[in-house]
Amino acid sequence: MDQRLIEQLRGIVGVDNVACDEPMSRHTTFRVGGPADCFVTPGGVDELGAVLGACREAGERAFILGCGSNVLVADEGLRGVVVRIGPKMADVSIADDGAVVAQAGAMNSKVARAAQASGFAGYEFAAGIPGTIGGAAIMNAGAYGGELRDVATGVTCLDGAGRIVEIAAADADWGYRRSMMGDAGYIVLQVMLQLHPDEPSAIQDRMDDLSRKRNEKQPLDMPSAGSTFKRPEGHFAGKLIQDAGMRGYTVGGAQVSTKHAGFVVNLGDATAADVLQVIRDVQAAVFADSGIQLEPEVRLWGFE
């Protein structure tokens, strides 16, 4: 990578917030992935805009990373700049009427906890989704009958030219694990929600109940990216995988979870190539067994 760009990025975000050859295994919940040429952590919207502008001018690709809970990064790593939107852009404010403004780097758990403490309900479903609200807006994250689009009123984004755009919920075109912002390559800066009043203890009870369900069903003690595949219409990916005899299927250090066949887990020493091989073999086995083509939900970075 061009040393001049690295110097420019250091000038924008400070030397401590630019790392070269940064292992992506440190920044993904799968705990796999080779080095990114450059890993930058902007401290706010202005720095983020300047970082992206510098990448654009230099012709370097920018990968926007939230919490890394839905990406699989190749062992060869990433050629370009990873821009992390995380704890430095994570303010959450809640108005008296339950209107929430959350910066994109705020973890879903933080937003849900803040809402609960203020006596506002509606975001409980996301409390256990281990990503940022920016990632949730891009993915239309959902669980246990709730989805981000149910409570979101709008998002503030940067478009490809670095302009701030306000997108109303009606224009976000949220679908199953997708959004207009994701398709257009927009960067989410903040997400607006409208929640409704409820007893904090009742909200907490619902969050505890969902957390119990997750713990019972999901292999939360092992690195993964959650459900590896999208749910095919009218089916459950985990059931199809189990029926195809792939529960426990292992390549190197990657395995179809024995607890929940919808998850591929890292047994400890998986490579990204192992994980990808499991994904491909599961797709082939399920197709042969049921004629259904599973599509990865997890985003694949650096494999092209």
Ligand X SMILES: Cc1cc2nc3c(=O)[nH]c(=O)nc-3n(C[C@H](O)[C@H](O)[C@H](O)COP(=O)(O)OP(=O)(O)OC[C@H]3O[C@@H](n4cnc5c(N)ncnc54)[C@H](O)[C@@H]3O)c2cc1C
Residues of the shown chain interacting with ligand X in the complex, contacts defined by CB under 6 A: 29, 64-71, 85, 104, 129-132, 134-136, 138-139, 141-143, 187-188, 220, 224-226, 299
CB of 158 to ligand X, least distance (A): 8
Closest CA relative to residue 225, chosen from 124, 134, 119, 298 = 298
**Count of H helices and E strands in the chain?**
9, 19
Residues forming a β-bridge with 299: 71
Measured N-to-C along each axis, helices 45-58 and 3-13 cross at an angle, to the nearest 10 degrees, of 170
Closest contact distance (angstroms) between CB of 184 and ligand X is 10
Bridge partner list, 19: 39
Whether 297 sits among the annotated catalytic residues: the reply is: yes
Nearer to ligand X, 90 or 187 (CB): 187
227 is catalytic: yes
Q: Provide the Cα torsion 88, 93, 99, 105; round to 10°.
A: 10
Q: Which amino acid type is present at position 122?
A: G
Identify which of residues 224 and 283 has a Cβ nearer to ligand X in the complex: 224
Residue (70 or 197) nearer to ligand X, CB: 70
Q: What is the Rg, in whole angstroms, of the alpha carbon atoms belonging to the chain? A: 19
If the CB atoms of residues 97 and 209 are measured against ligand X, the closer one turns out to be 209
**Type and span of the H or E element at 71:** strand 71-73
- Catalytic one of 177, 179, 224, 257: 177
Number of Cβ atoms within 10 Å of the Cβ of 289: 14
Output the six-digit token pair for 170.
């009606």
Report the C-alpha gap between 147 and 153 in whole angstroms: 13
Q: Which of 25, 224, 227, 257 is catalytic?
A: 227
When the beta carbons of 88 and 299 are compared against ligand X, the nearer one is: 299
User: Are residues 156 and 164 in contact, defined by beta-carbon separation less than 8 angstroms?
Assistant: yes
* Terminal Cα distance for the chain, rounded: 18
CB of 131 to ligand X, least distance (A): 2
Minimal distance, residue 279 CB to ligand X, in Å: 15
Q: Least Å distance between CB 144 and ligand X?
A: 8
Q: How far is the CB of 137 from ligand X (least distance, A)?
A: 7
Based on the residue annotation, tell me whether 299 is a catalytic residue of this protein: no
Burial, 165: exposed, middle or buried (Cβ in 10 Å; 0-12, 13-18, 19+)? middle
96 vs 169, beta carbon nearer ligand X = 169
Q: Which residues are catalytic?
A: 177, 227, 297
